Amino acid sequence: MEDVNKTQIGRFVSQKGGFKAFTPYPFPPNGGFRIDSKLYKKHEQAIRLVGKLDGITRRLPDKNFFLLMFVKKDAAYSSQIEGTQATFQDAVAAPVTEEKSRLKPDVDDITHYIEAINYAVGRIDHMPLSLRLIKELHEKLMAGARATQFAYQGEFRRGQNWIGGKALADATFIPPAVPDMHDALSDLEKFMHAGDDYPDLIKAGLIHAQFETIHPFADGNGRTGRMMVTLYIHYKKLLEIPVLYLSSYFKKYQKVYYQRLNDYHDENAKILEIIGEVKGKDCVIVDDFSISGGTLIDVAHGLKDKGAKHIYAALSHNVLNAESIKRIEKSPIELLLSTDTVECPEAEGSEKIKIISAAPMFAQSVKIIHDRAPMSSLFRREFTKRMLDMSFAEQITLLKG
């Protein structure tokens, strides 16, 4: 989504389970997306090429056979992006060489994709592109298909999901919580039908990126999202026959594809502006907790670029994973302080991370409550007073020791 998303599309919000889920702002964002002249020029070139493709396909002697081959090719590559090992040749040969009940799982993934996209293309000629159609598409894709977990085919997820990692604690991205997911989906559906000025192909990309950010299904989001690009282009009548399938391109540039999707919903973590003068000053970044460390590191780089002298960070709870700790070690952050409220064995060998016990503070709090004294007295204790009397540099030196 380069050159498009220079505004925040959401933020990470703390949830009851002790993790942060990405919560989209109303979509599209206030003021819309800024599209520069270079991207408009690329869109003009792309539209001309799509027009040529449409003209060529109208002259084909056997359009249905040609379309069938395109669908099978896209099904194979889209499934390969998700880890399937079957090839385009397997997809072509399967109906001839194997009974459906005896298909290999990887080939079966592709046949479900073919059935789903063919069904959706037929439906979109008689109904608008909508959440209802997306759920029907997902049901065709996942009914009886292999899944990493119970897919709830044709239904939006009922619980929290995540991307990357084995659990929420080490996830690379956590999509919106269920209530926020439904709000975001409602905005997306309105956006698909809005009479705005966004160029059609750019809007198709925005719809795809926003859908993948919402991640509304328990499984099958990637394949469903990629099919939506084809369906939207066909829905806007840019192609009479839906032959523009992009999964082979996404497969070829898979790392870039994933990075662009991450950049889209991580744009809020990039530093757009630092307010105030930090040159030559000691700066502290404070957050309640962090999993990936992305925001901390981006802020640190932003402060360093503005001339900050020393950069420190503080977390109430340390839930950093091993990879994020490695990134912090290489970042401009000189020292990261955190309490021991959450076990983080990965941080024990880090030279930059200092874990401080929260037990004395909790013990003092319990005593204050027992004595029916004001809680504010906790901050008048000897150690606190000593810390307040010190310069910032002296405090850091004490904590390092």
Task: Give the predicted TM-score (pTM) of the model.
Answer: 0.61
Mean per-residue pLDDT, 138-160: 78
Tokens 């750019």 sit on residue: 202
Q: Domain 10-268 sits in which CATH superfamily?
A: Fido-like domain (1.10.3290.10)
User: Is residue 199's pLDDT more than 90?
Assistant: yes
State the residue for tokens 């090992």: 85
* pLDDT recorded at residue 91: 45
Instruction: Select the CATH number that applies to the domain covering 273-400 from these four: 3.40.50.410, 3.40.50.720, 3.40.50.2020, 3.30.540.10.
Output: 3.40.50.2020
What tokens were used for 246?
Answer: 């992009």
What is the pLDDT confidence band of residue 343, given thresholds at 50, 70 and 90?
confident
Pairing of strands 20-24, 282-290: unpaired
The per-residue pLDDT of the chain, averaged, comes to: 78
- Residue 330: pLDDT over 90: no
Task: Kindly state the percentage of the chain with pLDDT values over 70.
Answer: 75
| Cβ 280 vs Cβ 188: under 8 Å | no
User: Going along 132-173, which residue ranges are E strands?
Assistant: none
Find residue 359's DSSP bridge partners: none
Nearest to 328 by CA among 302, 355, 294, 305: 294
Q: How far apart are CA 181 and CA 174, in angstroms?
A: 12
Among candidate residues 142, 145, 146, the one with its CA nearest the CA of residue 156: 142
Predicted confidence at residue 102, as pLDDT, reads 43
Confidence check: pLDDT of 2 > 50? no
| CA distances for 118 relative to 68, 121, 199, 206, angstroms | 9, 5, 26, 23
Name the more confident of 299 and 217.
217
| Selected residue with higher pLDDT from 16 and 189 | 189
Q: Higher pLDDT residue, 270 or 396?
A: 396
* Domain boundary assignment for the chain: 10-268, 273-400
Rounded Cα–Cα distance for residues 173 and 12 (Å) = 10
- pLDDT at position 153, please? 85
